[in-house]
Structure 1
Amino acid sequence: MGLRIGDTAPNFEIETTSGNINFHDWAQGSWVFFFSHPADYTPVCTTEMGRTAQLAEQFAARNVKPLGLSTDSVEEHNGWINDINETQNTKVGFPIVADKDTKVAELYEMIHPGESETAAVRSVFIIDPNQKIRLTMTYPMSVGRNFAEILRVIDALQTTDKHGVACPADWELGGDVIIPPTVSMEEAEKKFPQGFKTVKPYLRFTSVNDK
């Protein structure tokens, strides 16, 4: 059975470019953007690692720790990081897991035999501070991730957690949100004194302010 949204993210201990980590201890109190890439010294992966590093301040502002993974060694990771920093005009400051025996990749089902028997596909796990898996995405080896979408879904998850709302299609930070149908009209009036728009009894929009 694969990992599902709501499952506790499996723990592991492993060597990374920042030393050995116990995943649960390292992640304690933070959100985690845990992502795999097929191999070091490859073009698409280089741009993705660079983009993650470039967005360091935006991840930190959201209390998110990035954690990369591939089935290469720490030595290979460290050599490649020099290339990433040079070609992407950035500085990689987050750890990259060295999963040479594919232990973690198999634990998180990052290896898809139809793509490769040994290299991880581009998996994404967004994990909350309670170490629950909140979102999963999987990209093929030939297609890089959309980092605007990764930040958007983190914003959406944090907004829904904080305000007890849901986010409509194409929602972006600052946009109107949806009051869940499980919230009665009486409860909605108390919970959302700023008011709301009722389109249908089950479709009510309101605004929230996180400033």
Structure 2
Amino acid sequence: MRIHIIDDDDALRTALARLLGACGYAVSVYESGDAFVRAETGGEAGCILLDVDMPGLSGLQLQDYLRARGSILPIVFLTGNGDIAMSVRAIKAGAEDFLPKPIGKDALLDAIGRAMQRYEAAAAQNSALLDLRKKADTLTVREREVFALVVQGMLNKQIAFELGNTERTVKAHRHSLMEKLGAGSLAELVQMANRLGIASPGSGAAAE
């Protein structure tokens, strides 16, 4: 796992890099948020230690930028003059922590540990979603239509009427799509639909 230190204070960057390197972490340093963006760090696992006030992109602006791009790198903010409103905004936007400077070693390592755990959880969720999307891609056009109607709470006979099929055909499609997705119940199917972004306003329909 790599820790990205983004701070315009040269001495602090160096001190943090030495400390974290001695603790066994791989470390990269950047003098600004813009430098981090230009570095194109890719999908390497890790977290970010981010200063709030910097020339160019501020820490909060970089946080917004990374969130918009779907980055799952957790952020631990470091600040010498942050206020409560700023910290609340950062935490609500997904920051792992908001630490004041000077930073205590124990508090820093604890925040990094939690950030790494968050990264691993997010990476696992992303992997599971990717796997689910691959399974969904194997559905036929008709199975997709049945899927969308099932998770809206429609019964087999209602779906058959909607699609102009027989109930027997709908049941066959329903069985097939559940096998392809690995769903063992309607509840699981609804959860999968939610993760895939398929509307499921009604989840209480019973299978026929």
- TM-score, normalised on structure 2? 0.36
User: Where is the helix percentage greater, Structure 1 or Structure 2?
Assistant: 2
- TM-score, normalised on structure 1? 0.36
Find the structure with the greater CA-based Rg.
2
